[in-house]
Structure 1
Amino acid sequence: MSSLTNPSFSIHGVAVSSGIAIGQAHLVSNALLEVVHYQLPKHLIETEIDRFSEAIATVKAELEQINHSLRKNAPAELSAFVGTHLMMLEDKSLTEIPKDIIRNEQCNAEWAIKLQMDDIVEQFEQIEDVYFRERKQDVVQVVERIIKALLGHPSQLSTEQQMSAVSQERKLILVAHDISPADAIQFKQHNFAAFITDVGGVTSHTAILARSLNIPSIVALQRARDLINDGELIIVDGHLGIVIVSPSKEILAEYKLRQDQWELEQQKLKRIKSTKAVTIDGVSIDLLANIEVPEDVAAVKLAGATGIGLYRTEFLFMNRHDTPDEEEQFIAYKAVAEAMKGAPVTIRTLDLGADKQANSDTAVNCANPALGLRAIRLCLSEPQIFHTQLRALLRASHFGNIKILIPMLCTLSELRQTKLLLERAKQSLRKESLPFDENIALGGMIEVPAAAINAEAFANELDFLSIGTNDLIQYTLAIDRTDDSVAHLYNPLHPSILKLISMTIKAG
């Protein structure tokens, strides 16, 4: 932004959904900040418990109504997120333990559920891995919804606010401490141009929803809700992760131009999505998509992609206390394979960190998860979990063009152990007369310098190679790309990176 006139002020966060939005800020209250603690006489305890039960029932009804509306008003995968919150409302840790707290502490229901939430969140905070740690936000979002019900606050914009926004034909930008999936779906039905929040990360449900809904979004702004006034004009740069508050005329004009250019570019991409990409010397280049859930396939087809280059399977293992069984995984993989109707689908085996294992009882403490027991290392240390996933993948291969991709390969020993386990999975399916693709392709992710240097040896034992540039850059340059103090050293075009990529391509 140094080339532009300084705005009133800007806030930097994490961009999770691209695009540019210009509009007036609409602040959403944080119910957790409004919780007060007061004692109750014994004769009112059961009445308070009834009030708590009614709030739970109210929230369930709200979420069920939202889930029902998804059939027409939102992408299909959003149902999974709302469903997760509904499942949490069946968990005794949120529905029964607060009642015990009310009885034992003789306190109000709002305070009881907040105490229980704090205890659960503290457990999540002990997890180092970002995927699982961010799941605490689901707990916070559900509890905030319960507290709003207890306080009698509306869960969405009032009719008066909706009509005001529409009648004035103005774009509103939602500013909140956090946004639950259910809130995001409801707010999308109104005139909101963007979401910005104080908390969250790229793997949070809010971030995934924002991308699915094509809404520019920035999270982890820390104090946006405190610094921005309701009704203030703000710019949301979903590319750079910047929120500009009360922009000058020059900044506003510049961003209106950028917004027009971005929208024009999106229109151009839509027009050419069915056009084949061919280089000057006649080499055809296919556009393959990355997905996280089966429902992402709809967006893949809409974008004109010719296949799926990376299906991340971690989503199946997240936000739960157990591991998905073979049947659950098989159904998910099969759904994608069938939906792609013969187009290639490359599915990456579990790429979880040291403490993102099947359950917390088996988690391994690790000072540096990026260099610890993760990805294929973790899978080989948990052969039964890996065996289950391999069987599910093989069974799904009967219904489409599936390829298996192994993450973070470093040594040939790891590869050979993997191939041995894959063969054992095949043998078990043969014994049960379950069909699968006998010639299923097996590939490896080249994302560790050691693998890139030894790419030729890996290529001799694999059907294909896939380069994971993010981790390759991080490991090669010894840089944590999330650490602001060394972010300026993160250079994708560093000569050593280009050389490793070149070596890998030649080996493949």
Structure 2
Amino acid sequence: MSFQVFGLPVSRGVAIGRAVLVASSRIDVAHYFIDEADAEQEIERLRAARDAVSDELSTLQRDLPADAPPELSALLDVHMMLLRDDALIVATKQWVRERHYNAEWALSAQLEVLARQFDEMEDDYLRERKADLEQVVERLLRAMGRGPSTSYAPAPGVSPRDFAGEDPLVLVANDIAPADMLQFKRSVFTGFVTDVGGKTSHTAIVARSMDIPAVVGAREASHLIRQDDWVVIDGDSGVVVVDPSPIVLEEYRFRQRQSGLERDRLSRLRHTPAVTLDGERVELQANIELPVDAPAALEAGAVGVGLFRSEFLFMNRGGELPGEEEQFEAYRDAVEAMKGLPVTIRTVDIGADKPLDRLSVHELRHEYTMNPALGLRAIRWSLSEPNMFRQQLRAILRAAALGKVRLLIPMVAHLGEVRQVLDALARAKQQLHEAGKPHGDVEVGAMIEVPAAALMLPTLLKHFDFVSIGTNDLIQYTLAIDRADEAVSHLYDPWHPAVLSLIARAIADARSAGKHVGVCGEMAGDPAFTDLLLAMGLRSFSMHPSRIASIKQRILRADTRLLFPHLDEVLSSDDPEAASERLFNRKQQQAAE
């Protein structure tokens, strides 16, 4: 039976495929694809785990005290029966052989299938046996976790697309951490759905970096959708259609084809300079997470990297932070890949919805605070870990010897922090000089993402070479909205007059001081805001590479002489979104004529 699930659209387009469920578990489960040649090795791991658990259960049964209640022995019998049931083990082997899942993922997938069967049983006693099955599976997962294979990374040289089968796949989960999203970034999945999340959570941002349709905040999606269900993800409207009828399916396939044609048309603009009708040159740069994203930025026509999110080098590493040499190699690769174009590297922005596997003493305390978005994150965390921070600064300075590198400091709010950052940078330079290691100079910029920084920008500009406005966090902190919480996501409003006023003020202050100013938040890649930001005087946008062409098209059709006179009217309106649509679109039509 066909039904719909509604959520928040976070990455545009339409995806159609069979559902792959990543079930939530009390045990962390590695999800990765294996090479076909390694299938028997994974099955052997599963067999070894089953033998180990069987021995554990047999030992427990043998060592039961004489006065133990008979129900306990019966329970162990049930667990042993489930452990030997072909519906669990044989079917799990099929997931390994046919889908090339690693053993843990295959076992979790089969648990999801069997759990639904138990839920549908009418007999109360049988339905309650689902808990026993879950306990057996957790024993198996723990047994496999004691083995040598615990990596979350795909097997070296493995391309999941080579053995995914003919049907496209979509990912369905309760939530996907940003670091885990990177594991799927170039994998077989054509779209994804999560129960939780907001439009500008970092999970959503990474989804857009994958340039595939996605819907988050779909509440019960992972409980309503079954393994292998046909699913349509409408990333434009936030609708997920499960088991669509043939007519609905054909309609969405038509939309897929139309979307592909539109992308091909826009791709022809990638080497066209971004210049408005009245001759204003606009800088379109790219946001990237890892060095391997840089070639896509060049291919999209970016004139530099406006935001390298260095924290993704720190995630999903089993508790080990990258050292100076590893970071230098990553920054070097990005700088070299951009072929002389500038690269802006943001120092690690850890905290809130981007936690590390490894927690310091400070973070352990912070982890249990009521709101981690207001705790030890971004530059606050870096300054609390001086050795780590100096390592990162040294790596960035060394990369600056190979090309133009800018250093961006996230979540600046206090002059005391500014002084500490500049002192740390000076010490890092001195250390490199004493070690005889080549290094270059960097422009230092502040990320404006808290209201305090926007309001005191003229003072901050005395210490910085440039500023970059992070609209995602600026909206969050201005409106007191946790952008990752779907319960309040409807209040997250980039059109809020207070937000627009802060952005306009920051742009004006930077331009007045003769300092470069850009926007690197999600608003930069949203065509609905392009005209407004141009009217504010913005001439530097940074966004995901996939958004560059559509923003460039908007810029090529804009005339800032017609936009600027209406800026005050839009900013003073009770409904800036409607005013922007009415005033700017009318002027754009006049310019086009």
Q: Among 270, 276, 279, which residue is 1:279 paired with?
A: 276
- 481-490 or 404-413, which deviates more: 481-490
In 2, Cα distance between equivalents of 1:66 and 1:406: 44
Deviation at residue 158 of structure 1 after TM alignment: 7.3
Q: Among 1, 10, 33, which residue is 2:4 paired with?
A: 10
Contact 1:176 1:196 in 2 (8 A): no
Q: Which residue of 1 aligns with 2:418?
A: 415
Give the aligned residue type for 1:275: T
- 183-192 or 427-436, which deviates more: 183-192
Give the aligned residue type for 1:209: F
Unaligned runs of 5+ in 2: 61-87, 101-108, 114-151, 196-217, 511-593
In 2, Cα distance between equivalents of 1:303 and 1:65: 37
Q: Among 458, 470, 473, which residue is 2:472 paired with?
A: 470
Give the aligned residue type for 1:425: A
In 1, Cα distance between equivalents of 2:38 and 2:281: 44
Residue identity (%) = 40
Q: Among 251, 258, 262, which residue is 1:261 paired with?
A: 258
Give the aligned residue type for 1:298: P
Q: Among 234, 238, 250, which residue is 2:235 paired with?
A: 238
Q: Which residue of 2 aligns with 1:331?
A: 329
Residue 152 (1) aligns with residue 98 (2): no
Q: Among 370, 373, 388, which residue is 1:370 paired with?
A: 373
Contact 1:394 1:426 in 2 (8 A): yes
Residue 385 (1) aligns with residue 388 (2): yes
Pairing of 1:82-231 with structure 2 (within 5 A) = 106=58, 151-157=92-98, 182=154, 185-187=159-161, 189-201=164-176, 203-206=178-181, 209-210=184-185, 215-220=190-195, 224=221, 227-228=224-225
In 2, Cα distance between equivalents of 1:232 and 1:215: 15
Deviation at residue 411 of structure 1 after TM alignment: 1.4
CA pair 345-99 structure 1, distance change in 2 beyond 3 A: farther
Q: Among 491, 494, 504, which residue is 1:492 paired with?
A: 494
CA pair 376-102 structure 1, distance change in 2 beyond 3 A: farther
Unaligned runs of 5+ in 1: 1-6, 34-55, 68-85, 109-146, 160-173
Q: Which residue of 1 aligns with 2:582?
A: none
Output the TM-score relative to the length of structure 2: 0.58
Give the aligned residue type for 1:325: G
Residue 20 (1) aligns with residue 14 (2): yes
In 2, Cα distance between equivalents of 1:61 and 1:265: 32
Q: Which residue of 2 aligns with 1:314?
A: 311
Q: Which residue of 1 aligns with 2:359?
A: 360
Give the aligned residue type for 2:98: L
Deviation at residue 247 of structure 1 after TM alignment: 4.0
In 1, Cα distance between equivalents of 2:396 and 2:429: 10
1:251-282 residue CA offsets vs partner (Å, 9 max, x unmatched): 55653453333222211122111111111221
Deviation at residue 493 of structure 1 after TM alignment: 1.2
- 192-201 or 428-437, which deviates more: 192-201
In 2, Cα distance between equivalents of 1:376 and 1:96: 46
Secondary structure, aligned partner of 2:98: coil
Q: Which residue of 1 aligns with 2:559?
A: none
In 1, Cα distance between equivalents of 2:490 and 2:21: 35
Give the aligned residue type for 1:195: V
CA pair 231-370 structure 1, distance change in 2 beyond 3 A: closer
- Report how many aligned residue pairs link the two structures: 400
Contact 1:410 1:451 in 2 (8 A): yes
Deviation at residue 318 of structure 1 after TM alignment: 1.4
Give the aligned residue type for 2:425: L
Q: Among 479, 482, 487, which residue is 2:481 paired with?
A: 479
CA pair 484-273 structure 1, distance change in 2 beyond 3 A: same
Contact 1:449 1:500 in 2 (8 A): yes
Deviation at residue 22 of structure 1 after TM alignment: 3.6
CA pair 386-148 structure 1, distance change in 2 beyond 3 A: farther
Secondary structure, aligned partner of 2:184: helix
Deviation at residue 472 of structure 1 after TM alignment: 0.3
Q: Which residue of 2 aligns with 1:431?
A: 434
Deviation at residue 105 of structure 1 after TM alignment: 5.1
Contact 2:287 2:306 in 1 (8 A): yes
Q: Which residue of 1 aligns with 2:75?
A: none
CA pair 443-31 structure 1, distance change in 2 beyond 3 A: closer
Q: Which residue of 1 aligns with 2:141?
A: none
CA pair 501-158 structure 1, distance change in 2 beyond 3 A: closer
Secondary structure, aligned partner of 1:360: coil
